[in-house]
Amino acid sequence: MAEPLQLNNVSVRYGDFTAVIEVSLRLEAGHIGCLLGPSGCGKTTLLRAIAGFEPLAAGSISLGERQISDPGQLVPTEQRNVGMVFQDFALFPHLSIAGNVGFGLSGMDRAEREQRISAMLELVSLEGTQSAYPHELSGGQQQRVALARALAPGPELLLMDEPFSSLDRDLREQLAVEVREVLKRAGVTAILVSHDQQEAFTLSDQVTVINAGRVAQTDTPYALYHNPADRFVAEFIGQGSIISVNADTQGKLSHGLGTLTPEQLSNYGQSNLGLLVRPDDIKYSARSEVQLKVLSRAFRGANFMYELALPNGQAVSCLTPSHVNVAAGELLPVQFDLQHLVLFEAEG
Amino acid sequence: MEIAVSREVSFRRLASGSYWRVALVATAAVLSVPVLVIVASLLQPYSSAWQHLADTVLGDYLTNSALLMLGVGVGTFLLGVSAAWLTAMCEFPGRRFFTWALLLPMAIPAYIIAYTYTGLLDFGGPVQSALRDTFGWGYGDYYFPEIRSLGGAICMLSLVLYPYVYLLVRVAFLEQSTAVLEASRSLGKTPWQTLFQVALPMARPAIVAGLSLALMETLADYGTVEYFGVSAFTTGIFRTWYGLGELGTAAQLSAVLLLFVFVLIVLERWSRRRMRFHHHAAQAEPSRIQLSGVRAALAFGLALTIFSFGFLLPAGQLSVWVVGSWQSGASENFLNLVVNSFALAAVAALACLALALLLGYGKRLHPGSVEQGAVRISSMGYAVPGTVIAVGVLIPFAWLDTAIDDLARQWFNVSTGLLLSGTLFALVFAYVVRFLSVSLQSVEAGLAKIRPSIDESARSLGRSPGGVLRDIHLPMLRGSLLTALLLVFVDVLKELPTTLILRPFNFNTLAVRTYELASDERLAEAALPALAIVAIGLLPVILLTRSITRETPTDEGTGVG
């Protein structure tokens, strides 16, 4: 049922403004992909192009063997067999839950239809809500109805536009886990648009970071965090700072931050390097001789997030257990624990 | 092959867009003809009749219309704001009842309330008769204010137009954050000081918007000022056309009236824009000031007085007359009148709805500046007095008739006479120009509630654009479409001056018959058609009260969460 989705050099233009620039992407059948980026980066436009709501200026989109979009041809949305979950859910207020979920089911007899509707509601754990109306349900329940409705016709591809953004923070994470389970059980290929990396990481197999209309990097969540392809991805994904460092001839960095591999040394040179330091790269170590001045700190319950000053004044952050209680202005003993070094060309 | 497909696709997109654009621009162009004709009349040569008018009565028209606006402005402000303050911010016995009851005067056209009060208050009426009987006075023994005067007209118009102010200001009061008002109280201000120093200034945009609507109606009024013998612009236009037969001068007079209207439109638009900035989320229930004892009695008394004079008394008097004259055979043609009025109003309402759907959808599908401009121009008529629109329709239709007649004579040697003017077509066209904005507002509000994601969601579930219209839009719009029909229907039924000028010879409606009978001083006989108009006029008011008594002015959207 599920088909791989393929985007080749897709561009989308609004008048003179190019919202999506030469995006290429492949998503395997049954996988969940995410388009992640700050607002206005073109991720929603790209999703709408896949849905068939926006024509392409260049490139092509195909689903399995079938080419569904290129600049000359736009298969109408209703003929694409894609399901879509909208940011505001877009439930039909004049139809019951059964009416909503059954809306896309055609060519079925009554019994078949009812069976499919209850199967879908069961899938999203909303059994017995058939005769309710959308406004009678909570936000989280409406979200699941929207999902059931989109999945009911058995789409080849499911598209979700910021599906959790109108929900409470707590509800969001819980639903993301549930939705992933539902999608995996249904075996559907899905693409989600998000600006929330937590949501993206929880839900997807593959994340595409988009910056100003272009693909910055497509990878697994793990690889994105640990091997960001450029400064943008490094700063957008996770926390951390890029500090400028110098290496000696052996590639050794000061303060025991680590040692460059020979390839890195030949690629980036010795001086003026940008090094990515994540909060979990710096560990509290009571006996360490490296003591950094605390600039500020934020208590988060399970842990402290410290902002520390390196001897040359550059700021880095450090995550410690919650009982490590050092006031601003005092010194915190730490140990650098960079498993591998992520380097960038120094900035301008 | 690929290229051929590509051209076709882009051509089709382009073509459908430009069809809509042509349709919208054409609609706007045709509908703006009457107003353009009036404005263009200023450039026409001024006849001797104009000079005569300017020397004699123009000054009267200006003074009287200005005094009328001033008086009605003050009257509607006082009645509307106090009614709004009492029902929105105070708690007293009967508040819930008065919240909707105070809207009812809206159902009575000004000319009908004028006839009714004349019947009540003139020399032979029940009030003066009772006074004479009680005190044994005779004619000339006592002073009694003359109702048929400028002051009387101001009172009549204020009594039925204050609900415009009441409606908008009440919503503004309810939307004001309780915290702001409580802050004022906590800083040591009494409720009265809070009203004048905080609540009223904050509600200023709503007050201005409500007043400008009431004043537009004042300028448009013909029946009241004519009956009371007050020379205002509308009566002047009538007299110039029917008395002097000077259509061109009537148009020039209309243009001067339009100038007043234009000021009001600008005022209303401006204040509505301000309102948007001041829009706060409505709270569940404002904390009302509890009135008790004398103050509660005063509040109740004031609300009851406004309600009685605005609705209870006139409606009651009309009913008494209807019952009293039932046997006198005055109702022989009544059925005929009802059929005429209803058919006319229904046709106009349907025509407005069709055009409103065309404009509303065109704007939704292709929201360009040209389309937006076309929609805006098409809905300008709501502010233009019916008299002005009638003159503006009469001139181009007469010109068209003459042109067709000339051509027919030239080519076929037959005279076609008057094909368009003096027909129901001209009348319905004028109604559409005047009332299209009413149905457009309903349709646009309904369409706005359907978010684009709803359309897209239906498309992604396999519906074609036509299927979306059938399965989603029509069911979701049903309420708005019915409202649009009802509102125009009732407005047409009440409209007097347009109908008077443009109706075909001997074609009578309820409004026209009421006017004729009242002019002949057959007030009791006029009561039956008048009461019918009031009864039907109550329908949209009931619709309004249903939405207003839901207490909080929230959208009935399908909010998320």
Note the pLDDT of residue B328.
56
CA dist., res. A47 & res. A54, Å (int): 9
Residues contacting B526, CB < 8 A, separation 6+: B115, B513, B514, B517, B518
Above 80 in pLDDT, residue B250?
yes
Residue of chain A nearest B1, judged by CA positions: A72
Above 70 in pLDDT, residue B123?
yes
Residue A159's pLDDT band (cuts 50, 70, 90) = very high
CA dist., res. B481 & res. B484, Å (int): 5
Residue A261's pLDDT band (cuts 50, 70, 90) = confident
Q: Is B18 on the interface with A (CB under 8 A)?
A: no
**Cα of B366 to nearest chain A Cα, Å:** 14
Tell if the CB–CB gap between B9 and A104 is shorter than 8 Å: no
CA dist., res. A96 & res. B102, Å (int): 38
pLDDT tens for each residue of A201-221 = 999 999 999 999 999 999 999
Q: Please name which of A26, A24, A25 lies closest in space to residue A9, comparing C-alpha atoms.
A: A24
Tell if the CB–CB gap between A51 and B456 is shorter than 8 Å: yes
Q: Which residues of B touch A99 (CB under 8 A)?
A: none
**Which stretch of A287-291, B13-17, B47-51, B433-437 has the lowest confidence by average pLDDT?**
B13-17
Q: Which residues of B touch A73 (CB under 8 A)?
A: 2, 5-6, 9
**Cα of A143 to nearest chain B Cα, Å:** 9
CA dist., res. B438 & res. A141, Å (int): 38
Above 70 in pLDDT, residue B282?
no
* Identity of the residue in A82, A103, A134 whose CB atom sits nearest the CB atom of B558: A134
Residue B555's pLDDT band (cuts 50, 70, 90) = very low
What DSSP letter does each residue of A29-63 carry, written as one string?
TT-EEEEE-STTSSHHHHHHHHHTSS--SEEEEEE
Q: Rounded mean pLDDT of B249-262?
A: 89
Cα angle, residue A195 at apex, residues A191 and A200 outer, rounded to 5°? 50
Note the pLDDT of residue B198.
81
What DSSP letter does each residue of B139-179 carry, written as one string?
TTSS----SSSHHHHHHHHHHHHHHHHHHHHHHHHHHS-HH
Helix, strand, coil % (nearest 5) of chain A?
30, 35, 40
Mean pLDDT of chain A: 89
Above 80 in pLDDT, residue A56?
yes
Above 80 in pLDDT, residue B12?
no
Tell if the CB–CB gap between A84 and B454 is shorter than 8 Å: no
Note the pLDDT of residue B331.
55
Please check whether residue A152 is in contact with residue A101, taking contact to mean a CB–CB distance below 8 angstroms. Answer: yes
Tell if the CB–CB gap between A51 and B460 is shorter than 8 Å: yes
High-pLDDT (> 70) share of chain B, %: 90
Residue B555 token pair: 């959208």
10 Å CB burial of residue A292 (0-12, 13-18, 19+) is buried
Q: Is B481 on the interface with A (CB under 8 A)?
A: no
Rg (CA), chain B: 26
Tell if the CB–CB gap between A84 and B457 is shorter than 8 Å: yes
pLDDT tens for each residue of A109-128 = 899 999 999 999 998 889 99
The values of phi and psi at residue A206, to 5°, are -145, 130
- Show which residues on chain A lie within 8 Å of chain B, measured between beta carbons: 51-53, 55, 70-74, 76-80, 82-84, 86-94, 103-104, 106, 134-135, 138-139, 142, 149-150, 153, 159, 166-167
Q: Which residues of A touch B3 (CB under 8 A)?
A: 72
Residue B285 token pair: 């229930």
10 Å CB burial of residue A269 (0-12, 13-18, 19+) is middle
pLDDT tens for each residue of B144-154 = 888 889 999 99
* Identity of the residue in B6, B9, B462 whose CB atom sits nearest the CB atom of A106: B462
The ipTM estimated for the assembled molecules is 0.73
Q: Which residues of A touch B560 (CB under 8 A)?
A: 88-89, 139, 142, 166
pLDDT tens for each residue of B470-502 = 899 888 888 889 888 988 998 999 999 999 989
Residue B559's pLDDT band (cuts 50, 70, 90) = very low
Q: Is B460 on the interface with A (CB under 8 A)?
A: yes
Tell if the CB–CB gap between B451 and A88 is shorter than 8 Å: yes
Above 80 in pLDDT, residue B452?
yes
* Identity of the residue in B6, B460, B560 whose CB atom sits nearest the CB atom of A142: B560
Tell if the CB–CB gap between B560 and A74 is shorter than 8 Å: no
Please give the residue that has the higher pLDDT: either A88 or B315: B315
pLDDT tens for each residue of B75-84 = 999 999 999 9
Mean pLDDT of chain B: 84
The values of phi and psi at residue A49, to 5°, are -65, -40
Q: Please name which of A45, A50, A43 lies closest in space to residue A6, comparing C-alpha atoms.
A: A50
10 Å CB burial of residue B393 (0-12, 13-18, 19+) is buried
Tell if the CB–CB gap between B458 and A103 is shorter than 8 Å: yes
